[in-house]
Amino acid sequence: MLALGLGVTSSLTSIDGLVRGPYSEGGLFPRLALDFDDNKYATDVGSVTFADAFMAASPKLTYSTTSNSTMVNSSGNIVWSPHNFITYSEDFANAAWLKTDATISGTLTSSPDGQTNGRTVTFAGTNDLLRFIGPSCSVGESYTASIWAKAGTSSSVKLSILFSGSGLGSVDEVITLTSEWQRFTISGTVPSGTPDTARMRFTSLEAGSIQIFGAHLFRSDLGGMGQVPGAATGFEYYVPTSGSAKRLPRVGHHVYSGSAWVNEGLLIESEERTNLVTYSEDFSQNFLFGAGGGSITSTNNPSPSGVNTATLVTATSGRVYLYTSISLSGSTNKDYTASCWVKGVTEGTKGRLRIGFFGGAQGGGFTTGTYENLSTTEWTRISLTGVSSESDRSSAQLVVETETESQLIVFGAQLEEGSTPSSYIPTSGATVTRAAQTLVVPPAAFGWNSSAVSIQMDGRMTYANEGTFVAQRLYKWSIDGNNFLDVLVRSDANLGQVVFRQKESGTADEKTTATGTYSPGTLVSFNIASRHGSTFINGAVDGTALTANTTPTALADLENTNLEIAQDFMGTVRTFRQFAGDIGDAGLATATS
Residue 333: what pLDDT?
77
Q: Where are the alpha helices (DSSP H) in 32-74?
A: 50-54
Do the Cβ atoms of 386 and 335 come closer than 8 Å?
yes
Q: Give the burial string for 236-256 (b: 16+ CB within 10 Å, else e).
A: ebbbbbeeebbbbbbbbbbbe
Q: Which CATH architecture has domain 83-247?
A: Sandwich (2.60)
- Exposure on the CB side of residue 8, measured as CA atoms within 13 A: 22
**CATH assignment, 2-65+438-591:** 2.60.120.200
To the question of pTM greater than 0.75 for the whole model, the response is yes
Closest CA to 28 of 10, 42, 40: 10
Residue 394: what pLDDT?
75
Domain spans of the chain, in order of start: 2-65+438-591, 83-247, 274-434
Q: What is the DSSP letter of 14?
A: H
Residue 6: what pLDDT?
37
Q: Tell me whether domains 83-247 and 274-434 share a fold.
A: yes
- CA 433 and chain centroid, separation: 13
Contacts of 585 (CB under 8 A, 6+ apart): 531, 538, 540, 545, 548
What span, in angstroms and rounded, lies between the C-alpha atoms of 503 and 480? 10
Residue 16: what pLDDT?
59
Residue 334: what pLDDT?
86
β-partners of residue 315 are 294
Do the Cβ atoms of 515 and 496 come closer than 8 Å?
yes
- Which positions of the chain have pLDDT values less than 50? 1-11, 15
Backbone angles phi, psi at 363, to 5 degrees: 75, -120
What span, in angstroms and rounded, lies between the C-alpha atoms of 200 and 241? 15
Closest CA to 571 of 431, 382, 439: 439
Do the Cβ atoms of 394 and 360 come closer than 8 Å?
yes
Q: What is the DSSP letter of 4?
A: -
328-359 pLDDT tens trace: 876 567 899 999 999 999 999 999 999 988 87
Backbone angles phi, psi at 285, to 5 degrees: -85, -40
Residue 431: what pLDDT?
95
What span, in angstroms and rounded, lies between the C-alpha atoms of 426 and 227? 19
- Exposure on the CB side of residue 44, measured as CA atoms within 13 A: 17
Do the Cβ atoms of 251 and 282 come closer than 8 Å?
no
Greatest alpha-carbon span in the chain? 79
Backbone angles phi, psi at 66, to 5 degrees: -120, 10
467-507 pLDDT tens trace: 999 999 999 999 999 999 999 999 999 999 999 999 999 99
Residue 4: what pLDDT?
37
Using the Cα atoms of residue 97, residue 100, residue 102 and residue 105 in order, give the sign of their dihedral.
Answer: positive
Residue 366: what pLDDT?
85
Do the Cβ atoms of 210 and 121 come closer than 8 Å?
yes
User: Which CATH superfamily is 274-434 part of?
Assistant: Galactose-binding domain-like (2.60.120.260)
